[in-house]
Amino acid sequence: MKKLWGGRFQKTPEKWVDEFGASISFDQELVFEDIQGSLAHVHMLGECGILSLEEAEQIKTGLLLLKEKAEKGELSFSVDYEDIHLNLEKLLIDEIGPVGGKLHTGRSRNDQVATDMHLYLKNHVNEIVGLISAFQETLLNQAKENVETILPGYTHLQRAQPISFAHHLLAYFWMLERDKQRFSESLKRISLSPLGCGALAGTTFPIDRKLTAELLEFDGIYENSLDGVSDRDFIVEFLSNSSIMMMHLSRLCEELILWCSQEFQFVELDDTYATGSSMMPQKKNPDMAELIRGKTGRVYGNLFALLTTLKGLPLAYNKDMQEDKEGMFDAVRTVEGSLQIFTGMIGTLKVKAEKMKKATTEDFSNATELADYLAKKGMPFREAHEVVGKLVYTCIQKGIYLKDLPLAEYKEASDLFSEDLFEAIDPYTAVAKRISDGGTGFSKVKEALLKAEDALS
Ligand code: ARG
Give domain 363-456's CATH superfamily: Fumarase/aspartase (C-terminal domain) (1.10.40.30)
Instruction: Classify domain 14-105 at the CATH class level.
Output: mainly alpha
Give me the percent of the chain exceeding a pLDDT of 90. Answer: 93
Q: pLDDT digits over 180-236, tens only?
A: 999 999 999 999 999 999 999 999 999 999 999 999 999 999 999 999 999 999 999
Contact 193, 221 (CB under 8 A): yes
pTM exceeds 0.90: yes
b/e sequence 430-444, b meaning 16+ C-beta within 10 Å: bbbbbeeeebbbbeb
User: What CATH superfamily classification does 110-356 receive?
Assistant: Fumarase/aspartase (Central domain) (1.20.200.10)
pLDDT single digits (tens) 131-144: 999 999 999 999 99
Phi, psi (deg, nearest 5) at residue 311: -65, -30
Query: What is the Å distance from ligand 1's center to 116 Cα?
Result: 12
How confident is residue 3, by pLDDT bands cut at 50, 70 and 90?
Answer: confident
Ligand 1: atom nearest CA of 27 is 4
pLDDT tens, position by position, 354-369? 999 999 988 898 899 9
* pLDDT for position 403: 93
**What is the per-residue pLDDT for 160?**
93
Q: What is the pLDDT of residue 452?
A: 98
Dist. CA 253–CA 65, nearest whole Å: 45
The residue annotated as part of the active site, out of 25, 261, 277, 443, is 277
> Across all residues in the chain, what is the average pLDDT?
96
Cβ atoms 141, 347 nearer than 8 A: yes
The C-alpha atoms of residue 398 and residue 402 are separated, in whole angstroms, by: 11
User: Which CA distances in Å does 347 have to 134, 173, 424?
Assistant: 10, 14, 34
Q: How many CB atoms lie within 10 A of CB 249?
A: 26
Q: Where are the alpha helices (DSSP H) in 260-323?
A: 287-310
| Positions of CATH 1.10.275.10 in the chain | 14-105
On the question of pLDDT at 12 being above 90, the answer is no
Length of the chain (residues): 457
- Ligand 1 atom index nearest CA of 322: 12
Bridge partners, 221 (sequence order): 193
Q: Is the pLDDT of residue 69 over 90?
A: yes
Q: In the structure, what pLDDT confidence band is assigned to residue 277 with cuts at 50, 70 and 90?
A: confident
State yes or no: ipTM above 0.95. yes
Pocket test for ligand 1, best of 85, 88, 195, 230 (most atoms within 8 A of CB): 85
Where exactly does CATH 1.20.200.10 map onto the chain? 110-356
What is the predicted pLDDT for the residue at 384?
96
Q: Which of 319, 323, 324, 328 to mutate to test the pocket of ligand 1 (most atoms within 8 A of CB)?
A: 319
Quick check: is 240 catalytic?
no
CATH 1.10.40.30 domain extents, the chain: 363-456
For the residues of 176-218, what is the DSSP string, one character each?
A: HHHHHHHHHHHHHHHSEE-TT-TTTT--SS---HHHHHHHTT-
The reported pLDDT for the residue numbered 100 is 98
